[in-house]
Structure 1
Amino acid sequence: MTGFAYHVTGDRAAPVPVDRALGGDDGGLVWIHLETTDGQAQRWLRETAALSDYVVDALTATETRPRCEAVGQGAFVNLRGRSREELDTSDLLASVRIWAVKGQVFSVTRKPLIAVGAVEEAVKAGTIRDPGDLITSFATAITQDLDPDVANLGDELDACEEQLDATQIFALRRTVSRVRSTAIGYKRFLSPQRAALEKLASLPGDWLDDDDRLHLAGAADRAARMAEELDAIRERAALLHEWLSDLRAEQIDSRSLIIAIVAMVFLPLTFITGLYGMNVEGLPYAKAPWAFDAILGGCAVIAAGIVIYFVQRHWFER
């Protein structure tokens, strides 16, 4: 079982061993963070930390979505943020599960969450003094980390629109598909995360101060804005994908037209050469010394006539 713990008193935070973090209520804050959900962590949370089975199951569940629930005098919160590890394309954001009561906060992650480092730095700096500050710091760090990534998705689409060219269709389609997939993966969690933060901000309890509720509401608004931006990115990606598909179809039509024109030019020529290539008697002028030059000239005239016809019909301009 890996993790760390801090004991916060006033504006001072001291790191302590996880096994010794639990103690008496001295008016401070104990933050215990576990980086695993294995059986050992479950036993420690259930037996040593004396948490209820419901809370332990929620903290160590395999599949989670952003949510907030009031349980007794505390609250369970599940949030999603970016991880340092590359995750599966169907689950692009890692989870942090938080159980908070007055004076204590337990957080559990299965994958290394980028926001954990920012929260730990805030604890060391002395800006976090109670559970409300800690959860608010998590919500703020997650949204601040996601915001530039969402903006980059929009910038990538802008670049694709500027580079829209028939010679780069395949590369652009790969980029557009990746951006759209990422936007869908983020949107899947940001909408319920906004609802979770809004619910947390409205929970009763003296362990959440008024400024904590304001910051949580601000984080919820930011999550809502990112969700709306992701909707716009997804729609733009779908429209750009349609443009690329149309451009590819036009490219195929253009090439098919060229092939058809070439076939039309050589079709009569192939007939003539095939006819005079038969090894039979009775072909007109077969013994004449000028026959080859005449047939060659006739083929050239026929080819030129077909090309002139297509030019007059404006086929080459389509």
Structure 2
Amino acid sequence: MEKALIYSYLLDGKGGGKSMTAEEITQWQPSDGLLWVHLDYSVEGAPEWIFAQKDLPNVCAQALLHEETRPRATLVGSGILMSLRGVNLNPSADPEDMVSIRVYADKNRIISTRHRRLLTVADIVTSLDENRGPKDSGEFIQELVRGLTLRMETTIDMLEERTDDLEDTVIAGGKNGLRSELSAVRRAAIMLRRYLAPQREALSRLCGEQAPWLTETHRIGLRETSDHLLRLLENLDSARDRAAVVQEELVNHMSEQMNQRMYVLSLVAAIFLPLGFLTGLLGINVGGIPGAENNQAFFWFIAILCSLTALQVVVFKRFKWM
């Protein structure tokens, strides 16, 4: 368990907390105060310790160790089991590759697990060290979901700004490499929405759960975060739809350019088709070619070709092909 332990705090109920060792955790009693244990579920010792907690429902123990999770919030007995997602702000990582965190919380204890680092958890640790952290389980959940949502806002704002830049570039006439960038924006928006939509539903459900330690003040804070997440989802949908419109406009521009080029090539081919036929016909190496013995025949032939070209141009203009 010591290898899997990332953070462990005994909250004092005043915004601060005391860091605890693995040995101190084993000696903890509910009367000592609110205990928060944060583990890496993939490290040896974490599953054994979690399943050793006798008052932890077996379904919650299994959920804390699942690798693949979908955002949810469920009342289990007097505790709440949650699976949440946060944007991946780790170095060399894509923000849309979201990091999961699993949390079981009741009045006396909070157990959270993850595999990849989540900056929101580090923010909570900092706030506890500075005596401005959560005072109870309800405030802990409130701070966690609010921190996850605020970091999502930064990522979604950057996605919207990127969409604005691409839209301006397309309007200005720039097209090189934009299709791949627009596809990347749409792909990022789709991946983010995949988890944000169920996370918003989970927060809405959490606001309605009747856990005895979850007060009306906690529910108001969670409801505000849920509304904030709804606005972010709307912004995300807007960025995705705008990227789709810009990509469609880009395709239309490229199709129009292609049609214009094909139009010019078609006109050139139409003009030179009869000219090529005549020059090919008179260029065959057989006897009886008209003008073969006349020194002025070449110049007359050139005049005929020029006249034919002028006649074609007149006909094309008459039929509005040019």
Q: Taking structure 1 as the reference length, what is the TM-score of the superposition? A: 0.89
1:239-258 alignment, distance < 5 Å: 239-258=245-264
1:66-145 alignment, distance < 5 Å: 66-85=71-90, 92-126=97-131, 127-145=133-151
Q: Would you say 1:198 and 2:201 are equivalent positions?
A: no
1:183 corresponds to which letter in structure 2? Answer: A
Contact kept? 1:82, 1:94, Cα under 8 Å: yes
Residue 7 of structure 1 aligns with which residue?
10
Quote how far apart the aligned CAs of 1:294 are.
Answer: 3.1
Contact kept? 1:74, 1:102, Cα under 8 Å: yes
| Residues matched between the structures, number | 315
1:1-318 alignment, distance < 5 Å: 1-9=4-12, 10-22=14-26, 23-38=28-43, 40-47=45-52, 51-85=56-90, 92-126=97-131, 127-165=133-171, 168-169=174-175, 171-311=177-317, 313-316=319-322
Structure 2: how far apart are the matches of 1:68 and 1:19? 31
The structure-2 alpha-carbon separation of the partners of 1:101 and 1:308, relative to structure 1 and needing over 3 Å to count, comes to same
Quote how far apart the aligned CAs of 1:241 are.
Answer: 2.5
Structure 1: how far apart are the matches of 2:54 and 2:254? 61
Quote how far apart the aligned CAs of 1:313 are.
Answer: 4.9
Contact kept? 1:69, 1:76, Cα under 8 Å: yes
Structure 1: how far apart are the matches of 2:30 and 2:149? 32
Q: Deviations over 1:99-150 (max 9, x none)?
A: 0011211111122223222222222222211111111111011110011221
Quote how far apart the aligned CAs of 1:280 are.
Answer: 1.0
Contact kept? 1:82, 1:93, Cα under 8 Å: yes
Q: Deviations over 1:277-300 (max 9, x none)?
A: 211111111232233333334333
Q: Deviations over 1:148-193 (max 9, x none)?
A: 2212222222222222259534523222222222222222222221
Contact kept? 1:3, 1:18, Cα under 8 Å: no
Contact kept? 2:88, 2:94, Cα under 8 Å: no
Contact kept? 2:5, 2:37, Cα under 8 Å: no
Contact kept? 1:18, 1:32, Cα under 8 Å: no
Moved more, 54-63 or 3-12: 3-12
The structure-2 alpha-carbon separation of the partners of 1:75 and 1:272, relative to structure 1 and needing over 3 Å to count, comes to same
2:223 corresponds to which letter in structure 1? Answer: A
What root-mean-square deviation, in Å, do the aligned CA atoms of Structure 1 and Structure 2 show? 2.5
The structure-2 alpha-carbon separation of the partners of 1:259 and 1:24, relative to structure 1 and needing over 3 Å to count, comes to same
Q: Taking structure 2 as the reference length, what is the TM-score of the superposition? A: 0.88
Q: Deviations over 1:220-252 (max 9, x none)?
A: 111111122222223223322322222222122
1:55 counterpart SS class: helix
Quote how far apart the aligned CAs of 1:216 are.
Answer: 0.8
Quote how far apart the aligned CAs of 1:312 are.
Answer: 5.5
Q: Runs of 5+ in structure 2 lacking a partner?
A: none
Contact kept? 1:115, 1:141, Cα under 8 Å: yes
Contact kept? 1:87, 1:93, Cα under 8 Å: no
Contact kept? 1:265, 1:306, Cα under 8 Å: yes
Moved more, 124-133 or 260-269: 124-133
The structure-2 alpha-carbon separation of the partners of 1:308 and 1:121, relative to structure 1 and needing over 3 Å to count, comes to farther
Structure 1: how far apart are the matches of 2:55 and 2:109? 12
1:84 corresponds to which letter in structure 2? Answer: L
Structure 1: how far apart are the matches of 2:94 and 2:251? 27
Structure 1: how far apart are the matches of 2:221 and 2:231? 15
Quote how far apart the aligned CAs of 1:8 are.
Answer: 1.8
1:168 counterpart SS class: coil
Q: Percent identity?
A: 30
Moved more, 154-163 or 272-281: 154-163
Q: Deviations over 1:44-98 (max 9, x none)?
A: 2112686332112111112211111111111101111111346689x73221110
Moved more, 236-245 or 143-152: 236-245
The structure-2 alpha-carbon separation of the partners of 1:27 and 1:41, relative to structure 1 and needing over 3 Å to count, comes to closer
Structure 2: how far apart are the matches of 1:18 and 1:82? 29
